[in-house]
Structure 1
Amino acid sequence: MTQGRSIRLFLVDGTPNGLLTAEIMNWTGHVLTGPRSKLSELVQRPECGRTGIYFLIGPDPEGSTRPLVYIGESDDVATRLKQHNRPEEKGGKDFWEKVCLVTSKDQNLTKAHVKYLESLLIQSAAQVGRCKLINGTAHEYINLPESDRADMAFFLEQIRTVLPVLGFDFLRDMHRPSLSDKAASEPSISDVPRFRMEIKRDSLTAYAQEVDGEFIVLEGSQARVEWTDQKHNYRTLFKQLCDEGVLVDNGDGYRRFATDYAFGSPSPAAAMVAGRAANGRKDWKVESTGQTYADWQDQQVSAAATSLG
């Protein structure tokens, strides 16, 4: 069974929209994040004078559901952030609205460490595919002793753990965990049902599973070739998945998922299959029983409540 973790959050100015720090027990890393509007306060913090990794995050002006992200490193993060805050025509970056920086409490991170981390993080973010990277291609940096590379691999995993807690999901794995791999540590994974959605008029069938809090449409699932509901915002997501090669035209009247793809809930997943707005809680059904997702979930909650009683 997966071990629990303790993350300590601190609201620096006592407000949820201000500066925030985060630490994980038994990890030397220290995370500081805040909105761009608080940059003048953030750069005065002692963490900003250290060597570290930083992330600039902002919305995509082209309407994509994925944020724009820039990943950088510096041995004086405050100076780099001041440079990025300049207007675009003066060498700055206009897109970002939030900043997150990661340093070390024991100040043992060196320039070589953060250059290596930057390379790993850019590769990881590009592979996961939850954001649009401003960096472009990553420069592979391998000039680090083997023991230090092992330390940085651990450091990276802690960053991947803490950032989603702060609302930054761009390093969180998009694809479902291997069920065979998880079976050894989590016997209950075999109880996770496979859901099926059919559009009989078009002879389309899709499959999905709910894993780690995400609803994942499985590779090979079919979907309508075009979006038909022009008034719904999900049309932007449908176009995005088509443009990115997640939904590919199969050439015989429908699209298919070229890879597993994670959604936050069943309804957007159902909409991508149907090509229009859909109620995923009713449209997705347990493959083995025909029970709707809503009824299945209600059964799980009721069973849990009964066991507690």
Structure 2
Amino acid sequence: MSNGRTIKLFLVDGTPLGLVTAEIPNWTGHILSAPRTRLSEALSRDEAGRTGIYFLVGEEAGRLKVYVGEGDCISVRIKAHAKDEDKEFWERVCLVTSKDFNLTKAHVRYLESRLVEITAANSRADVINATQPIGGSLPESDRADMEFFVAQLQMILPTLGLNFLSPKPALPDVSPVSPMMIPSELPVSPAAATAGAVELFLSHASTGVQARAVDVDGELTVLKGSLGTTQQNAQNSYGGLREQLILAGKLQIIGGDKTEFIEDVVFPSASAAAAVINNRNSAGPREWKLRNGLTLREWRDSLIDLK
């Protein structure tokens, strides 16, 4: 079991949806998060005039979108984005600076490049940056310091509801999904024994749906090779997300009536994943099942009953 950590959140105006600062004891980093409607107040603060990086965060069609930037005076860059009609997606801004003023231009250029790279690799959000930042070079000791800085951001940002830097959950080394797979006959994955991880299956003979996923602490990853359907006989609130996955090449239409996951895809909930696969609104906890036949909801309820 890993050691506990302390993260200090300060509600600047006493409301959780307003200006919020976040810090970790003995870490020089400082984070300020604010809704776009409070941008003027956020940019009037001292930290907005420092060298640092920033995130512009928004959502379209159920998919998180992020722009990562840097600047010697980050307020100047953010004001420019606020006037940019091509960047109207964002609803929240997050400023990352240093309490001891030790971040230099070279440091933030390195951080910008790494954070774009990590966000894209984790696939939890679409990166809006038009190009991959160069990043530049740093001495070995400075690179180590900046990698530690990145690790702290990965720890602290999820407490603000921003998990796009969080690493993908550790997935089992499983065989490719087969249309004829029978959960009870598949070998048990090493991840099945990992705390907080459970293998899940979803299938419907009428539509040809045959999907496999891993749930880690409530975050569900649909595995590459899983099959969904193009048939739609009911409303799908996640239709926009489904279309975005198709446009991104992560979900491919095959044979005219099926979709196939070309890579592992992380979903914020079991229902979102089920809706994309079934192409209709779906109660994920009732549709996903463990290999023993229990639904995800029944399994969760059994954990409560054991305590």
Fold similarity call, TM over 0.5: yes
> Contact 1:227–1:238 (CA<8 Å) still a contact in 2?
no
> Contact 2:68–2:129 (CA<8 Å) still a contact in 1?
yes
Read off the aligned partner of 1:15 and give its amino acid letter.
T
Q: CA 1:130 to 1:285, structure 2 compared with 1: closer, same or farther past 3 Å?
A: closer
Q: Which secondary structure does the structure 1 equivalent of 2:18 belong to?
A: coil
What is the aligned counterpart of 2:170 among 155, 166, 177? 177
Q: CA RMSD in A?
A: 2.5
TM-score after normalising by structure 2:
0.86
Q: Which secondary structure does the structure 2 equivalent of 1:56 belong to?
A: strand
The CA deviation at 1:188 is 5.0
Higher mean C-alpha displacement, 23-32 vs 209-218: 209-218
1:302 and 2:305 are equivalent in the alignment: yes
The CA deviation at 1:258 is 1.5
Moved runs in structure 1, 4+ residues, more than 4 A?
A: none
The CA deviation at 1:98 is 1.6
CA distance in 1, matches of 2:195, 2:19: 42
Q: Which secondary structure does the structure 1 equivalent of 2:206 belong to?
A: helix
Read off the aligned partner of 2:66 and give its amino acid letter.
V
CA distance in 2, matches of 1:212, 1:155: 25
CA distance in 1, matches of 2:209, 2:80: 52
Structure 2 residues not aligned, in runs of 5+: 174-188
TM-score after normalising by structure 1:
0.85
CA distance in 2, matches of 1:82, 1:191: 42
What is the aligned counterpart of 2:71 among 74, 78, 81? 74
Please name the residue that 2:48 is paired with.
48
Q: CA 1:285 to 1:87, structure 2 compared with 1: closer, same or farther past 3 Å?
A: closer
> Contact 1:229–1:277 (CA<8 Å) still a contact in 2?
no
CA distance in 1, matches of 2:38, 2:196: 46
Q: CA 1:286 to 1:156, structure 2 compared with 1: closer, same or farther past 3 Å?
A: same
Read off the aligned partner of 2:215 and give its amino acid letter.
E
1:29-178 equivalences in 2 (<5 Å): 29-60=29-60, 64-86=61-83, 88=85, 93-173=87-167, 175-178=168-171
Structure 1 residues not aligned, in runs of 5+: none
Please name the residue that 1:260 is paired with.
264
1:129-170 per-residue CA deviation (whole Å, 9 max, x = no partner) reads 333333212122232101101111110111122122112232
Please name the residue that 1:237 is paired with.
241
Read off the aligned partner of 1:158 and give its amino acid letter.
Q
Q: CA 1:125 to 1:193, structure 2 compared with 1: closer, same or farther past 3 Å?
A: closer
- Count residues in correspondence: 292
The CA deviation at 1:179 is 4.4
Residue identity over aligned pairs, in percent, reads 45
